Amino acid sequence: MSATVSDLLLDWYDSHARALPWRAPPGASPTDAYRVWLSEVMLQQTTVAAVKPYFTKFTEIWPDVQALAAAPEDEVMAAWAGLGYYSRARNLVKAARAVAEMGGFPETEAELRKLPGLGEYTAAAVAAIAFGQRAVVVDANVERVVARLFAIEQPLPGARKAIREKADAITPDKRAGDFAQAMMDLGSSICTARDAKCLLCPLASKCEGRASGDPLRLPVKAKKKAKPQRSGTAFWIERDGAVWLIKRPGKGMLAGMRALPDDGWSARKDGDGEAPVEGAWKAAGVVRHGFTHADLELGVAVYAGDSKPQGTGEWWPLDRLDDAGLPTLFAKAARLVLAAR
């Protein structure tokens, strides 16, 4: 009997699995569900390299789900600053509190999906990796591997149903968590978006994309639409070794985060709000930042007067600015001003 896809892949994984701080070695007892869940939420649309220091920091401050559930949301948001997609952090706190009330994580994919922020992928990953449940785990890496393995010609996103069906067909009943992680590792190291290292791939003999002679054309992707461009201004007001920070509204872009005041760029095509104080402003330069829905050019203006800013805010000491948890956009603006000195 010839080896199955799962046999070949798990044999490869036993020797080539990545060592990651949230992962148990191949064949070992499953990792604690809290660590699996936390890592999977952090890894959404974020690289492993970027997540590692955040995961370490979070698990040092909040070593279990009960500790995270008891944490003030502001502290969690500040610790998350720089990872982006801040709704993940807000849902992280909500889900932790729900799990703490339950007395622990539910073990099935269906029950896990009821938690805030756990979609199809994350619930399947936690069910398979933490609880050994047979679940079909499909992230971007798995999507690419399966599309090439079965030479699925339909363009994304329409191909996702077929990809999931094929992924289901090759997912084993046993070691489903190791299989899911093996697929992720294969997609991140061998069957990558820019390369298909077929000579190193344990599934080469089964791969229809390789047999076609051009696996890199798969998965077929629809053309990306150009992102809209936005522009605006952030305002730097400094006094006695402190900078004026506001707290953004509870809904909308970067909701609930500390930030520099700005002119309303997040709500308009071009920012047209008023400066927080009248007087002389000096242009410090421009920072650029990409969001999922738009690209932004944000001018940074430095206040040269001594009037009190309008509205509600706080004076934050410059020597503790790293502790403010500024989102990446405003951290860039702060670095621009401070680097000019």
Residue 53 belongs to domain with CATH number: 1.10.340.30
Q: Which of 129, 232, 258, 231 is nearest to 185 (CA)?
A: 129
E strands, the chain, in order: 229-236, 238-239, 242-247, 258-259, 281-290, 295-303, 314-317
Q: Which of 168, 187, 217 is the last residue of a domain?
A: 217
DSSP label at residue 9: H
* pLDDT surpasses 80 at 272: no
Q: Which of 182, 217, 252 is the last residue of a domain?
A: 217
Q: Indicate whether 238 and 208 sit together in one domain.
A: no
Structural domain contains residue 323: yes
The DSSP-derived string for 278-318 is -S-EEEEEEEEEE-SS-EEEEEEEEE-S-PPPSSS-EEEEG
Q: Which of 189, 217, 245 is the last residue of a domain?
A: 217
The residues that bridge with 314 in the sheet, in sequence order, are 245
Q: Indicate whether 36 and 147 sit together in one domain.
A: yes
Q: What percent of the chain has pLDDT over 70?
A: 97
pLDDT at 54: 97
Locus of tokens 């009821």: 114
* pLDDT surpasses 60 at 1: no
pLDDT at 256: 84
pLDDT at 270: 44
Split at pLDDT 50, 70, 90, the class of 271 is very low
Structural domain contains residue 288: yes
* pLDDT surpasses 90 at 116: yes
Structural domain contains residue 54: yes
Q: Indicate whether 192 and 280 sit together in one domain.
A: no
pLDDT in tens, 21-40: 999 999 888 889 999 999 99
Quote the CA–CA distance of 195 and 187 in Å, as a whole number: 10
Q: Indicate whether 253 and 204 sit together in one domain.
A: no
Split at pLDDT 50, 70, 90, the class of 224 is confident
Domain count, the chain: 2
Q: Which of 159, 203, 156 is nearest to 179 (CA)?
A: 203
Q: Indicate whether 204 and 247 sit together in one domain.
A: no
Residue 230 three-state SS? strand
Structural domain contains residue 222: no
Q: Which residues contact 316 (CB under 8 A, 6 or more apart)?
A: 242, 243, 244, 245, 258, 324
pLDDT at 266: 53
Structural domain contains residue 20: yes
Across the beta sheet with 295-303, the strand order is: 229-236, 295-303, 281-290
Q: Indicate whether 210 and 242 sit together in one domain.
A: no
Split at pLDDT 50, 70, 90, the class of 273 is low
- Residue range(s) defining the domain that contains residue 277: 229-339
Structural domain contains residue 167: yes
Q: Indicate whether 144 and 26 sit together in one domain.
A: yes
* Section 289-293 average pLDDT: 87
* pLDDT surpasses 70 at 293: yes
Q: Indicate whether 240 and 109 sit together in one domain.
A: no
Helices 73-80 and 87-102 pack at an angle, to 10 degrees, of 130
* pLDDT surpasses 60 at 139: yes
- Are the C-beta atoms of 58 and 79 separated by less than 8 Å? yes
The C-alpha angle 157, 162, 168, rounded to 5 degrees, equals: 125
Split at pLDDT 50, 70, 90, the class of 340 is confident
Tokens standing for residue 67: 């500790």
Reported as half-sphere exposure (CB side, CA atoms, 13 A), residue 146 has a value of 28
User: What residues are annotated to the active site?
Assistant: 40
Quote the CA–CA distance of 191 and 141 in Å, as a whole number: 8
pLDDT in tens, 81-103: 999 888 999 999 999 999 999 99
Amino acid at 148: R
Structural domain contains residue 15: yes
pTM of the model: 0.83
Q: Indicate whether 191 and 75 sit together in one domain.
A: yes
- Are the C-beta atoms of 300 and 281 separated by less than 8 Å? no
The DSSP-derived string for 103-125 is TS---SHHHHTTSTT--HHHHHH
Tokens standing for residue 218: 């798969």
Structural domain contains residue 223: no
CATH number of the domain that residue 289 is part of: 3.90.79.10
* pLDDT surpasses 60 at 297: yes
Q: Indicate whether 190 and 270 sit together in one domain.
A: no
Q: Indicate whether 199 and 246 sit together in one domain.
A: no
Q: Indicate whether 148 and 65 sit together in one domain.
A: yes
pLDDT at 289: 92
Range in 45-49, 118-122, 267-271, 327-331 the model is least confident about: 267-271
Is beta strand 258-259 parallel, antiparallel or unpaired with respect to 281-290? unpaired
* Section 42-57 average pLDDT: 95
Q: What percent of the chain has pLDDT over 90?
A: 78
